[in-house]
Structure 1
Amino acid sequence: MTSTPEILCIGSVLWDIIGRSSSHMRQGSDVPGRIIRVPGGVALNIAMTLRRQGMIPALLSAVGNDPAGQELLADCRRRGLITDHIYLSEDLPTDIYMAVEGANGLIAAIADAHSLEEAGDKILRPLTDGTLGSAGAPYGGFIALDGNLTEALLAQIAVDPVFQQADLRVAPASPGKATRLLPLVEAGNATLYVNLEEAGLLCQTEFPDAASAADGMVTRGAKRALVTDGGRASADGSAEGIITRQPPEVLVTRVTGAGDSFMAAHIVAEARGADREAALMAAQAAAAAHVSGETPYD
């Protein structure tokens, strides 16, 4: 596929292995359910949602040149995603994520993104070698960046002139990796999409609600912060002020990927000219459709 991308999605592109049960679960639970394997990773989840809503994304990531990687790339191309710029590794395996979900939400998850981390800045070469941009002519469009990159690489991106002209949108891979984004918060040149827990970790405090978390993120230095809090009100904070909105009430059937759907829909809405209120509404609607099962995996 050789179409010109409208947005670059940088980060994890891997296989999700998800076990899901309709039962409430706890440590040690052994219950019936379903186990599926689907394309995943924060960057890929965002890209798939962007494509479903009409944007053309290109992926910048690392994938192993193994059967799992070849199958994953073929699936991405079938979905209309540009894979031309992915770093294909001969010695690193394709990454994988495993999660267990019950009726009471995410029980546990393990993300094996070691290949992406070991590939390092090799995944960014198209932004420096003139393919998509260079130091003299930096890429100026939308970039969706995920926190599965190493702390050192994220710190490099925060100050790299190659990224200074882009509309940089950033999401943590998980609460456990949220503090990796501190350099991007302090650089003040990115919009961050976080949940309440991640905002607290980045600001080293606990917030009672999304509005106070968004305000705290902006005070800490973030250019802009979108904060979600499950079924409670979400917030959009910037120098223009804080706005909040209650998300739709839905029956939750899955949780993995909800934040990615929120972020992607928000980017699409703003790319089409939506104001802050309308963009927040669109993001919440997409996340609600995802967790309710209305949005299909394929």
Structure 2
Amino acid sequence: MRIAVTGSIATDHLMVFPGRFVDQLIPDQLAHVSLSFLVDGLEVRRGGVAANIAFGLGSLGLTPQLVGAVGSDFAEYEVWLKEHGVDTGAVLVSAEHQTARFMCITDQDANQIAAFYAGAMQEAGQIDLRRLTGPGSPAPDLVLVGANDPAAMVRHTRECRELGLPFAADPSQQLARLTAEQTRELVDGARWLFTNEYEAALLLERTGWDRAAVLARVGSWVTTLGGAGVRIDRAGHEPLTVPAVPGVAVADPTGVGDAFRAGFLAGTGRGLDTVSAARLGCVLAAEALGAVGPQAYTVDPARLLAVAEQAYGTEAAALIAPGTGSAS
């Protein structure tokens, strides 16, 4: 299965605050917040939702197409992605802006406060998905429309409809910036809709739809639930719930949802049933959770299957095996 992943490509600046954010907030002063957090560490890592998902897919042996905008400072990052199986031929290089920056502070409860500088991502709306379907380039079997410049997200969704390309909607952090009309357009007709639990509530508020109305417009709605795993909803069917891998030591939650998406899409692309694909997504998310940085984990099929067997049982691990690229 050939998957094109559109969205942000960024450098992550990850910091750790040894306290709890909630302890620093005074309830009757929330209208006048002025806080500075003294952090214990700084890690500069490769990131961006599209690059993170593409990294995961490539590490599982697929050859995803990365679609996004970067600056001239992307050269070293591009080599890294190519080494991990990512096709970067559709990446636009800006002559004016640097690659986007994600700056995030995580507290001891794994809560996060972040800021995102768009940089070259502002030019992502110039990318035409028809470049993916030209002579000698087989059309992707699925396009994931991830968090990006809002104009790019809308353009890519419209182009998927015009070109007849199945697409997955993953608006994530950009829900806060999208208008109601934009959000409805991004969701309507998606084969897969990805959100976390908070984003699911925000999506309902933003669209003005109830859950039934959303499910009537998408193939399946996949909601990640943190330590509780994932819920998959489909119109006319009972929800499927898959628990997370238990007992994972948390090193850094950044990019864990992206790792889940990579595992899930690799699984569905290789013919796994929905539950098995979700279990593979949870296993890959556990690997990401135990590493600092969203692309710091290493994919070892044997280890993934061992984790799956411990978490879900021998039979479940055997069903997951094809999704890892393992023959056993």
The normalised TM-score by structure 2 is 0.74
Q: Deviations over 1:97-138 (max 9, x none)?
A: 1111122113311111242123413353513655646xxxxx
Q: Deviations over 1:48-76 (max 9, x none)?
A: 111111111121111112xx222222332
Residue equivalent to 2:310? none
C-alpha distance 156-245 of structure 1, shift in aligned 2 (>3 A): same
Residue equivalent to 2:144? 144
Q: State whether residues 191 and 225 of structure 1, in contact with CA within 8 Å, keep that contact through their aligned partners in structure 2.
A: yes
Q: Which runs of 5+ in 2 are unaligned?
A: 25-34, 298-328
Residue equivalent to 2:94? 89
Residue 8 (structure 1) shift: 1.4
> For the residues of structure 2 that align with 1:262 and 1:217, how far apart are their CA atoms?
22
Please state which structure has a larger fraction of its residues in helix.
2
Residue 214 (structure 1) shift: 6.6
Residue 247 (structure 1) shift: 1.6
> For the residues of structure 2 that align with 1:101 and 1:131, how far apart are their CA atoms?
45
Q: Which runs of 5+ in 1 are unaligned?
A: 134-138, 206-212
CA RMSD between the two structures? 2.8
Residue equivalent to 1:202? 203
Q: Report which stretch shifted further, 39-48 or 93-102.
A: 93-102
Q: State whether residues 62 and 85 of structure 2, in contact with CA within 8 Å, keep that contact through their aligned partners in structure 1.
A: no
The normalised TM-score by structure 1 is 0.81
Q: What SS does structure 1 have at the residue aligned with 2:61?
A: coil
Q: What SS does structure 1 have at the residue aligned with 2:112?
A: strand
C-alpha distance 240-121 of structure 1, shift in aligned 2 (>3 A): farther
Q: Deviations over 1:26-62 (max 9, x none)?
A: 5546445321111110000001111111111121111
C-alpha distance 81-36 of structure 1, shift in aligned 2 (>3 A): same
Residue equivalent to 2:11? 15
Following TM superposition, the consecutive aligned residue runs of length 4 or more in structure 1 with deviations greater than 6 angstroms are: none
Q: What SS does structure 2 have at the residue aligned with 1:204?
A: helix
C-alpha distance 15-144 of structure 1, shift in aligned 2 (>3 A): same
Given candidates 244, 249, 261, the residue that maps to 1:263 is 261
Q: State whether residues 17 and 38 of structure 1, in contact with CA within 8 Å, keep that contact through their aligned partners in structure 2.
A: yes
Given candidates 62, 72, 75, the residue that maps to 1:70 is 75
Q: What SS does structure 1 have at the residue aligned with 2:245?
A: coil
Q: What SS does structure 1 have at the residue aligned with 2:127?
A: helix
Residue equivalent to 2:241? 244
Residue equivalent to 1:208? none
C-alpha distance 112-296 of structure 1, shift in aligned 2 (>3 A): closer
State the structure with more CA Rg.
2
> For the residues of structure 1 that align with 2:202 and 2:164, how far apart are their CA atoms?
28
Residue equivalent to 1:290? 288
Task: State the identity %.
Answer: 24
Query: Given the alignment of the two structures, is residue 169 of structure 1 paired with residue 174 of structure 2, yes or no?
Result: no
Q: Deviations over 1:153-204 (max 9, x none)?
A: 4333333356653332232241524665421222x23311101111111111
Q: Deviations over 1:184-235 (max 9, x none)?
A: 222x233111011111111118xxxxxxx9756314x222210012122421
Q: State whether residues 214 and 225 of structure 1, in contact with CA within 8 Å, keep that contact through their aligned partners in structure 2.
A: no
Letter in 1 for 2:265: I
Mapping for residues 205-244 of structure 1, pairs under 5 Å: 217-219=214-216, 221-239=217-235, 241=237, 242-244=239-241
Q: What SS does structure 2 have at the residue aligned with 1:170?
A: strand
